[in-house]
């Protein structure tokens, strides 16, 4: 073979090897990218599965207490959304054919059964004791499933298994690693919980209701000067005005002057000069105050800032700080849209945070209509599964932004679970249902 021919063959072979090497590298990169994409999708699916199952359990619990057609319509629509979401998540997870079939079966029946109850109540029918028993049983399954999938999420977040390793191991029938055992054990527990399948917030209710509207309170208020706003900020901070320094102002629906002192920041609305919020970067120390002490200090703080007629509704304690929710009282009504949150340090009693955004956006002097039914009549509309403990009057917001005038009925079932039913003062229909969760650190709602 001539020298020139050898060179050509060597060059050709080198080019082929280079091409093969580039192809192999590209294929590896593509495969790794696909693995990462699949793993991210599975992690997201597991998280979404937990959220959907938790909401399904809550809605089924509410359905056992519901009586009005409107409430069943809302719950049925919500359950449909979450069962579909759970099915979508399940299809992304390697749950095994048997477990996946049972889970799909459960989700489908929840959707179909609650839809049938919605149609029944819409036609004027009422739930039988057997139907309410079925709702309780379905809720029990949802609660068990939610617990198992939450456990899987904890395993994943703690690093006890990863979907990347799991996907590789699932391809090998002989794989017996802890990664696979942990995951499949949790899936098996979820499936076992259905062997007999018949086929606070700490924020409290109605919090963070910043509706998409203009503040009637601030719209007609006079604009205050920077100097006047500084004086108000100093009063909120508990220092002299000369120690308070201004920052860049905030524009928008709640335009405000911003100030800081030490590690605290405070915002004062340009119109009206109201304290919008206060934030502190201070850390909590040893707890010396009780929750009741914190509620008392928070109430006094709001009064000093000019926020009167505010009543505490719910509170929660975490990391040495108690956060209290206050709502405005107008006559006999608690106006939940007019919400202010105040956080108190249990070590020294200082103000850690304050947020009056909901109050400033929603507060008005309301024309409250005379109820067309009595409290006793409202109590009679409550499900037979509940006992009414006390009744108040309340204004609550809705998802559409319309406020409802209601009777707030604190109820309890035979198992001791307490529930808030909000019955319309005109019709007695349920406008909302909230499940109360009592803990050592305060009251939460679902």
Distance, in Å, from the CA atom of 102 to the CA atom of 71, rounded to the nearest integer, reads 29
257 and 303 housed in the same domain: yes
User: If DSSP codes are grouped into helix, strand and coil, which group holds residue 388?
Assistant: strand
Q: Do residues 84 and 224 share a domain?
A: no
On whether residue 211 sits in a domain, the answer given is: no
Q: Let me know the angle formed at the C-alpha of 263 by 257 and 268, rounded to the nearest 5 degrees.
A: 15
Q: Which of 375, 316, 321, 313 is nearest to 338 (CA)?
A: 313
CATH code for the domain in which residue 405 is found:
3.10.450
In tens, the pLDDT along 199-238 reads 322 244 555 444 456 888 898 899 999 999 999 999 999 9
Distance set, CA 288 to CA 280, 313, 324, 353 (Å) = 19, 23, 17, 18
- What is the number of domains present in the chain? 3
* pLDDT value of position 389: 92
Residues 318 and 415 in one domain: no
Looking at the structure, do residues 182 and 40 belong to the same domain, yes or no?
A: yes
Residue in the block written with tokens 């590896």:
28
Q: Which of 113, 348, 323, 132 is nearest to 238 (CA)?
A: 348
Tokens at 112, concatenated: 């179909």
Query: Is residue 368 a part of any domain in this protein?
Result: no
> Considering the domain boundaries, does residue 206 fall inside one?
no
Write down the pLDDT at residue 198. Answer: 42
In whole angstroms, give the CA distance from residue 437 to residue 446: 8
3-state class of 419 per DSSP? strand
Residues 160, 11 within the same domain: yes
Percent over 70 (pLDDT), the chain: 71
Cβ-Cβ contacts under 8 Å for 30 (sequence gap 6 or more): none
Same structural domain for residues 186 and 239? no
> How many CA atoms, within 13 angstroms, populate the side-chain half-sphere of residue 72?
26
* From 187-196, 244-253, 402-411, the region with the lowest mean pLDDT: 187-196
Summarised one tens digit per residue, pLDDT across range 47-98 is 788 888 888 888 888 888 888 888 877 887 788 788 777 777 776 665 554 5
pTM: 0.61
End position of a domain, from candidates 327, 362, 397: 362
Q: Is there a single domain that holds both residue 225 and residue 132? A: no
Q: What is the pLDDT of residue 211?
A: 41
Residue 197 lies in a domain: no
Give bridge partners of residue 317 from the DSSP assignment: 322
pLDDT over threshold 80, residue 34: no
Q: Do 45 and 16 belong to one domain?
A: yes
Does 209 map to a domain? Answer: no
Q: Are residues 9 and 152 in the same domain?
A: yes
Q: Give yes or no: residues 332 and 414 share one domain.
A: no
Per-residue confidence (pLDDT) for residue 5, from 0 to 100: 55
Q: What is the pLDDT of residue 18?
A: 56
Distance between CA 335 and CA 227 in Å, rounded?
A: 33
* Residues 22 and 92 both lie in one domain: yes
Tokens of residue 374, six digits: 């009595």
- For 415, the domain range is 375-445
Domain-located, residue 109: yes
* pLDDT, tens only, 384-402: 888 999 999 999 987 667 8
User: Quick one: 79 and 10 in the same domain?
Assistant: yes
Query: Is 210 a member of any domain?
Result: no
Write down the pLDDT at residue 138.
Answer: 85
Would you state the pLDDT for residue 230?
A: 95
Q: Does residue 20 lie in a domain region?
A: yes
Q: Are 231 and 242 in contact (CB under 8 A)?
A: no
């Amino acid at each position: 073979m001539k020298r020139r021919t050898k060179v050509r063959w060597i060059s050709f072979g080198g080019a082929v090897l280079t091409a093969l090497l580039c192809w192999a590298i590209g294929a590896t990169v593509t495969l790794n990218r696909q693995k990462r994409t699949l793993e991210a999708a599975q992690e997201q699916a597991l998280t979404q599965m937990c959220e959907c199952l938790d909401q399904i359990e809550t809605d089924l619990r509410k359905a056992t207490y519901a009586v009005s057609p409107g409430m069943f319509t809302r719950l049925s629509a919500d359950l449909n959304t979450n069962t579909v979401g759970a099915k979508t998540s399940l299809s992304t997870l390697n749950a095994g054919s048997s477990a996946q079939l049972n889970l799909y079966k459960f989700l489908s029946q929840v959707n179909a059964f609650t839809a049938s109850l919605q149609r029944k109540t819409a036609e004027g029918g009422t739930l039988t004791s057997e139907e309410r028993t079925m709702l309780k049983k379905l809720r029990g399954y949802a609660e068990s499933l939610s617990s198992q999938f939450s456990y899987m999420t904890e395993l994943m977040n703690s690093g006890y298994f990863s979907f990347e390793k799991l996907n590789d191991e699932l391809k090998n029938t002989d794989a017996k690693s802890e990664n696979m055992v942990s995951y499949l054990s949790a899936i098996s527990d979820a499936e076992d919980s259905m062997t007999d399948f018949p086929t606070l917030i700490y924020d409290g209710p109605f919090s963070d209701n910043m509706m998409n509207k203009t503040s009637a309170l601030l719209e007609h208020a006079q604009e205050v000067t920077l100097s006047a706003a500084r004086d108000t900020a100093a009063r909120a901070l508990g220092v002299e005005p000369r120690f308070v320094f201004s920052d860049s102002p905030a524009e928008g629906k709640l335009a405000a002057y911003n100030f800081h002192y030490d590690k605290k920041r405070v915002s004062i609305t340009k119109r009206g000069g109201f304290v919008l919020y206060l934030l502190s970067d201070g850390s909590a120390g040893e707890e010396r105050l009780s929750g009741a002490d914190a509620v008392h200090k928070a109430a006094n703080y709001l009064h000093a800032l000019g926020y009167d007629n505010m009543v505490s509704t719910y509170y929660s304690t975490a990391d040495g700080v108690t956060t209290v929710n206050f709502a405005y009282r107008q006559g006999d009504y608690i106006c939940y849209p007019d919400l202010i949150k105040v956080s108190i340090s249990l070590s020294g009693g200082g103000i850690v945070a304050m947020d009056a955004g909901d109050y400033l956006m929603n507060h008005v002097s309301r024309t409250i209509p005379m109820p067309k039914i009595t409290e006793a009549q409202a109590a009679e509309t409550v499900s037979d599964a509940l006992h009414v403990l006390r009744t108040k009057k309340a204004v609550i917001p809705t998802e559409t932004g319309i406020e409802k005038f209601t009777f707030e009925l604190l109820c309890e079932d035979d198992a001791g679970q307490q529930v808030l039913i909000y019955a319309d003062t005109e019709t007695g229909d349920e406008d909302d249902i909230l499940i109360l969760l009592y803990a050592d650190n305060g009251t939460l709602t679902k």
